[in-house]
């Protein structure tokens, strides 16, 4: 039986913390879908297309990872690809509490859904997409220092595009 997992989120943008979870989950599952959750009511800094590009650039070279977007319930996507595992990452106690409530709701909607929670690596505890967005809004520049700062948060291949789009 193939073990297929789904890792869903808005990924605005996809960070090194997300990438760490992907690498660890990809080692445990036969197939891992990264699902860019499309939510029309949520205001994102980056377009769906840009976010998919960032994700694809970041996970290039991980052979069992697939990337797509989906406009619907994550459990419905899981059913469509035959997944029973939902991957989530947590940084602290507040994240755990939130993820627990989501896991309960997902089990109600899809009883076969098992949420697999990965604790953030210590070097990623303070890393978030919102920090990256704030740095970009504050005008982090396309200088060596700016690129070096962003390399602590996002995959180095993504930085030039991230800087170009955020201007």
Q: Which residues are catalytic?
A: 18, 42, 91, 129
Sequence-distant (6+) residues with CB within 8 A of 165 are 46, 50
In three-state secondary structure terms, 49 is helix
CB-based burial label for 24 (10 Å; 0-12, 13-18, 19+): middle
Kindly state the tokens that stand for 125: 């505890």
Q: What phi and psi values does residue 90 have, to the nearest 5 degrees?
A: -130, 145
**Cα dihedral 67, 68, 72, 76 in deg (nearest 10):** -60
Classify residue 120 as left (phi > 0), alpha (psi -120 to 50) or beta. beta
């Amino acid at each position: 039986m193939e073990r297929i997992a789904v890792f869903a989120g808005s990924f605005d943008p996809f960070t090194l913390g997300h990438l760490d979870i992907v690498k660890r989950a990809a080692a445990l599952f036969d197939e891992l879908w990264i699902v860019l959750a499309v939510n029309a009511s949520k205001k994102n800094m980056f377009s769906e297309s840009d976010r998919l590009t960032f994700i694809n650039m970041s996970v290039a070279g991980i052979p069992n990872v697939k990337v797509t977007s989906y406009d619907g319930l994550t459990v419905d996507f899981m059913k469509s690809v035959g997944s029973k595992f939902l991957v989530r990452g947590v940084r602290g106690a507040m994240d755990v509490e939130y993820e627990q409530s989501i896991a309960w709701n997902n089990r109600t909607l899809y009883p076969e859904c098992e949420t697999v929670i990965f604790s953030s690596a210590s070097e990623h505890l303070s890393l978030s997409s919102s920090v990256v967005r704030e740095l970009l809004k504050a005008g982090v520049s396309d200088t060596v220092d700016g690129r070096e700062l962003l390399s602590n948060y996002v995959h180095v291949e993504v930085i030039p595009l991230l800087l170009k789009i955020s201007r």
